[in-house]
């Protein structure tokens, strides 16, 4: 039987993508786990795997097509021996599909969820269709496909004949704003009329810029930000860094100031565990590991790759991992799990000469640290004399729903103490 391959959701926030490249053509025989296409999301280029074997009957969406909605049919696969002409034709242009299809023929690479009541079942459309015909409850079937997916052979060999449960609960008709939808505001036509007599170039928003606009508008509208500011004297840290880099030179390692900031924040999240938290709609989640996100500027936007378990990693390990993540971020080669998650973020514009600024919290994070440039300033020394020190400004943007003022101040105090006494980061 003919089965449609759908545009998959390759990340929790993905609503549409670009079908960058087909790696198969009509008439090709494919097997489970084979890469069919490359899909560009707003953040990365990812591979689309086949879940069942068969023959590609039709490619419904051309390579290079942008704005393909999730769950839109993009190709048709038929069983071997079945007529290619028997495959269903799309009833409407793919861009006009409005209702999501209930099954997916290909799925993103992800770890399968544990089965149980309310758990998502990962299965191919052919497996779902056969299960419906046989009355098999898929929650009782072990998947043998890629990443634990249930495929045709699993259903055919299954003894789980419990009837498929259906829900009699009426579907809600309340319309909700689409996640990632463009924020409301002054209409484009109105703005264009204002500048009708001026020369300009219109720039169409790509997926990344559209997502940034939506998420940051949401962040400023829904997160009660407040700001805590501190200055750090960097002279001890700069001398310590120079000494460490001399010792690491033979290994080809060169630590940056940002590496020390990442480590200090990771350790501070352990020292002040109540600040290591995220907002989860109607509750707060307190994380145990220190997963620190770091903003990386790329063409047209930014990524926030996450350094997981940053508190337990050495400075040299953090430095190498950050360099790798930043390099792959600039070429959009990060996988979703590498830039999603974390409880805290760092945005460092000091390397670009910015002295201080206020950063916008990236939900669901509880806070973000804005780091400015180190500037030589006159300061009062311990003996009350006047001297010169390299001083760096930091601003902690805090979600007041997650972190109160005193807690945020306690966290920032630990960060400052670690940066001004860097040997403590090695203890």
Range list of H helices, 207-256: 207-222, 235-248
Examine residue 78 and say whether the peptide bond preceding it is cis (omega within 30 degrees of 0): no
DSSP letter for each residue of 371-420 = EEEEEEEEEE-TTS-EEEEEEEEEEEEEETTT--HHHHHHHHHHHHHHHH
HSE-CB at 275 with a 13 A cutoff on CA atoms is 29
Identify which of 207, 224, 216 has the alpha carbon closest to the alpha carbon of residue 185: 216
- Residue pair 245/422 in contact (Cβ under 8 Å)? The answer is no
Q: For the chain, how far is it from start to end, CA to CA, in angstroms? A: 64
What is the DSSP pairing of strand 277-279 with strand 284-286? antiparallel
The single-letter DSSP state of residue 171 is P
The single-letter DSSP state of residue 71 is T
Catalytic position from the list 147, 337, 365, 400: 400
CA angle centred on 254, ends 251 and 256, rounded to 5°:
155
What is the sign of the dihedral through the CA atoms of 279, 211, 299 and 36?
A: positive
Cα dist. 131→127, 141, 165, 289 in Å? 6, 10, 12, 41
Based on C-alpha coordinates, what's the Rg of the chain?
26
Cα dist. 294→203, 258, 266, 326, 330 in Å? 27, 9, 12, 9, 13
- Residue pair 7/90 in contact (Cβ under 8 Å)? The answer is no
Identify which of 215, 221, 217 has the alpha carbon closest to the alpha carbon of residue 42: 215
Sole residue written with tokens 């998959």: 8
Please list, in sequence order, all residues whose beta carbon lies within 8 angstroms of the beta carbon of residue 237, skipping any fewer than 6 positions away. 257, 260, 419, 420, 422
- Residue pair 39/7 in contact (Cβ under 8 Å)? The answer is yes
- Residue pair 13/364 in contact (Cβ under 8 Å)? The answer is no
Dump strand ranges (E) for 142-247: 225-233
| Phi-psi category of residue 42: left, alpha or beta, with phi > 0 → left and psi -120 to 50 → alpha | alpha
Is 400 catalytic? The answer is: yes
For the annotated catalytic residues, the residue numbers are 400
């Amino acid at each position: 039987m003919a089965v449609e391959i759908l545009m998959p959701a390759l990340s929790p926030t993905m609503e549409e993508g670009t079908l960058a490249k087909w790696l198969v053509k009509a008439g090709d025989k494919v097997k489970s786990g084979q890469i069919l296409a490359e899909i560009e999301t707003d953040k990365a280029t990812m591979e689309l795997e086949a879940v069942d074997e068969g023959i590609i009957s039709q490619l419904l969406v051309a390579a290079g097509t942008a704005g393909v909605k999730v769950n839109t049919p993009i190709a048709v696969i038929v069983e071997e021996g079945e007529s290619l002409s028997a495959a269903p034709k799309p009833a409407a242009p793919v861009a006009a599909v409005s209702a999501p299809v209930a099954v997916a023929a290909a799925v993103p690479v992800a770890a399968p969820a544990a089965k149980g009541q309310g758990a998502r079942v990962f299965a191919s459309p052919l497996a779902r269709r056969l299960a419906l015909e046989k009355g098999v409850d898929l929650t009782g079937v072990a998947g043998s496909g890629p990443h634990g997916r249930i495929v045709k052979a699993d259903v055919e060999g299954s003894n789980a004949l419990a009837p498929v449960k259906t829900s009699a609960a009426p579907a809600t008709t309340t319309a909700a704003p689409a996640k990632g939808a463009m924020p409301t505001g002054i209409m484009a036509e109105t703005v264009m009329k204002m500048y009708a007599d001026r020369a300009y170039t219109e720039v169409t928003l790509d997926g990344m810029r559209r997502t940034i606009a939506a998420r940051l508008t949401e962040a400023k509208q829904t997160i009660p930000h407040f700001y805590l500011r501190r200055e750090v004297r960097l002279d001890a840290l700069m001398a310590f860094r120079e000494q460490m880099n001399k010792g690491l030179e033979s290994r080809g390692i060169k630590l940056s100031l940002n590496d020390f900031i990442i480590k200090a924040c990771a350790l501070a999240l352990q020292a002040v565990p109540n600040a290591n938290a995220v907002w989860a709609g109607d509750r707060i989640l307190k994380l145990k590991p220190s997963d620190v996100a770091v903003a990386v500027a790329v063409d047209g936007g930014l990524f926030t790759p996450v350094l997981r378990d940053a508190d337990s990693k050495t400075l040299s390990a953090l430095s190498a991992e950050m360099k790798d993540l930043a390099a792959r971020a600039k070429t959009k080669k990060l996988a979703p799990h590498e830039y999603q998650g974390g409880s805290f973020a760092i945005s460092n514009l000091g390397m670009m000469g910015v002295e201080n600024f206020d950063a916008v919290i990236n939900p669901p994070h509880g806070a973000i640290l804005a780091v400015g440039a180190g500037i030589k300033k006159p300061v009062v020394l311990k003996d009350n004399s006047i001297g010169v020190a390299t001083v760096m400004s930091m601003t902690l943007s805090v979600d007041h729903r997650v972190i109160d003022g005193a807690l945020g101040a306690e966290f920032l105090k630990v960060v400052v103490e670690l940066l001004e006494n860097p040997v403590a980061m090695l203890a």
